[in-house]
Amino acid sequence: MKKHAFSTRIWHWINAISLIILFMSGLNISNAHRYLYWGDYGFDKADAWLSVIRFPNWATIPGSYNLAEARDWHTIFAWPFALALLFMWIAMLMNRHFKRDLTTTRAEWKPNAVWKDIVSHAKLNFDHDPANGKYNFLQKFSYGFVLGIMLPLMIFSGLAISPGFEPAAPWMVDILGGRQSARSIHFIIAFGLLAFFVVHIALVLMTGPIKQLKDMITGGKA
């Protein structure tokens, strides 16, 4: 058996490329109005709950301020991002990857077990009971939170702030607390995913990056 299923590997690389382009084009879009609000409306910077920095050109797509082009990049790569996530969830449920490797047990949620896992991670010790799957508790929790909450919420909040989509599903805007609330949520989740990405890359670098990359391309050995 492979360590990583073919469906997982395909999703991983499509998701990685899509998220990088979506994030960088999103920074260009943010430069158009660097203030975030809660509720349905927000125009005056005095009413903003957060004033965002102006992101440098090297961090944006395109590499200079161009709102129209940035929106085109964002829209184009939102499709593979959303469809790949749907594909991944279908694959995980069908091949039992979710149940086998990502679901947690009641014992893993006990405070002493959680603390033990945190201490082990702090010591860069990632060993765990193989009977609980190929991931330890913190890995299962973080992967489950990203796959089940952050990425779907990124899609739904993005749809809610899309002018062309809002008239078709106003209920989605209402659920998220208004169009400006959806925009703030979209921004918060984006930087939450950036934090996850940084930690993920750091852990890969500390646990054999060449082998990790090779396994995510070829599948590796279970």
Residue 44: inside a domain? yes
- Residue with the bigger pLDDT between 81 and 202: it is 81
Q: Are 3 and 134 in contact (CB under 8 A)?
A: yes
pLDDT for res 188: 97
pLDDT for res 19: 97
Residue 144: inside a domain? yes
- Residue with the bigger pLDDT between 188 and 163: it is 188
- Residue with the bigger pLDDT between 96 and 80: it is 80
Q: What CATH number is given to the structural domain containing 17?
A: 1.20.950.20
Average pLDDT of the chain, as a whole number: 91
Q: What is the tens place of the pLDDT at every residue in 84-109? A: 999 999 999 998 889 888 898 898 89
pLDDT for res 123: 79
Looking at the predicted structure, is the pLDDT value of residue 38 above 90? yes
pLDDT band at 167 (very low <50, low <70, confident <90, very high): confident
Residue 22: inside a domain? yes
Side-chain-facing half-sphere of 80: CA atoms under 13 Å = 17
Q: What is the tens place of the pLDDT at every residue in 116-161? A: 888 888 877 777 666 666 788 898 999 999 999 999 999 999 999 9
Structure tokens at 199: 């930690």
Supply the range of the domain harboring residue 194.
Answer: 6-218
pLDDT for res 4: 86
By the 10 Å C-beta count (0-12 exposed, 13-18 middle, 19+ buried), 61 is classed as: buried
Residue 1: inside a domain? no
Who contacts 40 (Cβ-Cβ below 8 Å, separation ≥6)? Answer: 173, 178, 179, 180, 181
Looking at the predicted structure, is the pLDDT value of residue 23 above 90? yes
pTM to 2 decimals?
0.91
CA distances from 36 to 46, 166, 179 (A): 10, 19, 11
pLDDT for res 130: 65
Question: Quick one: average pLDDT of 162-182?
Answer: 87
Question: Quick one: average pLDDT of 40-69?
Answer: 95
pLDDT for res 131: 63
* Percent of the chain whose predicted confidence (pLDDT) is above 90: 64
Q: Are 117 and 137 in contact (CB under 8 A)?
A: yes
SS3 string of the chain? CECCCHHHHHHHHHHHHHHHHHHHHHHHHHCCCCEECCCCCCCCHHHCCEECCCCCHHHCCCCCCCHHHHHHHHHHHHHHHHHHHHHHHHHHHHCCHHHHHHCCCCHHHCHHHHHHHHHHHHCCCCCCCHHHCCCCHHHHHHHHHHHHHHHHHHHHHHHHCCCCCCCCCHHHHHHCCCHHHHHHHHHHHHHHHHHHHHHHHHHHHHCCHHHHHHHHHHCCEC
Q: How far, in Å, CA of 123 to CA of 72, rounded?
A: 44
How many domains in the chain?
1
Angle between helices 67-94 and 151-160 (to 10 degrees): 140
- Residue with the bigger pLDDT between 133 and 4: it is 4
